[in-house]
Amino acid sequence: MTAQETFNRYAEKAANMSIEGLRYSLRDCIAAARACSGHDTVREGQYYDEAFAYRNELNKRNATL
């Protein structure tokens, strides 16, 4: 799976989530990325990509954190 396909999968998942679910998942992904920092850069990047997809969906809906 390419990086673009992976991000598209995150975006599709985000499109079907509630605002509350997006907020929770965004915070969870950021925490997970920070936990991976310094020892698993691949996973850190994946979590940040997923968090970006959730934030992007919140922006589309004009929702705030």
Query: Residue 64 — pLDDT band, cuts 50, 70, 90?
Result: low
d(CA 51, CA 49): 5
User: What is the rounded CA–CA span in Å between residue 51 and residue 28?
Assistant: 8
Q: Which tens digit of pLDDT belongs to each residue from 11-44?
A: 999 999 999 999 999 999 999 999 999 999 999 9
- Residue 49: pLDDT above 80? yes
pLDDT at 65: 62
Question: 3-15 and 41-60 helices cross at what angle (nearest 10)?
Answer: 40
What is residue 1's predicted lDDT score, i.e. its pLDDT? 83
